Amino acid sequence: MSIRMRIVQQFEVQHQTEFMDLEKQFAALEAQRPDFPKGRRLKPISGVDPSNTLIWECDFADLDAAHRALSFFAGDAAHETLFISQAPYFKQVRIEFLENLEF
């Protein structure tokens, strides 16, 4: 059973430029480092989440692998440095785990 993990980050709308500039740095770090999970980033146009939301999502083999990715992020110095810079712009963050249905 594969799992999709989503990190849903709502940010202060007045700081969208700063938030997205930092997110570009996260994307560059992810691209440069083979050990980083390769996710995709989405920004809602309409739906439940407001437009000042960034969604990072990635598929993993199982729930344990998704949890290991979260631990990896928390333990990586380069990721942590960017996270500390971006955190003041957060309004709320949630992490979702979804089972990929493969009928």
Alpha helices in 7-102 (DSSP H): 16-32, 63-75, 77-86
Residue 89: closest CA among 35, 31, 27, 18? 18
Mean pLDDT within 33-56 = 96
Instruction: Give the pair of three-digit tokens for residue 66.
Output: 């998704």
Instruction: Please compute the mean of the pLDDT values over residues 41-47 and round it to a whole number.
Output: 96
Whether the predicted pLDDT of 1 surpasses 90? no
pLDDT band, residue 102 (cuts 50/70/90): confident
Residues 63-82, mean pLDDT to the nearest whole number: 96
Domains and CATH numbers, the chain: 3-99 (3.30.70.100)
As a whole number of angstroms, the distance between CA 98 and CA 100 comes to: 6
CB atoms within 10 A of CB 73: 15
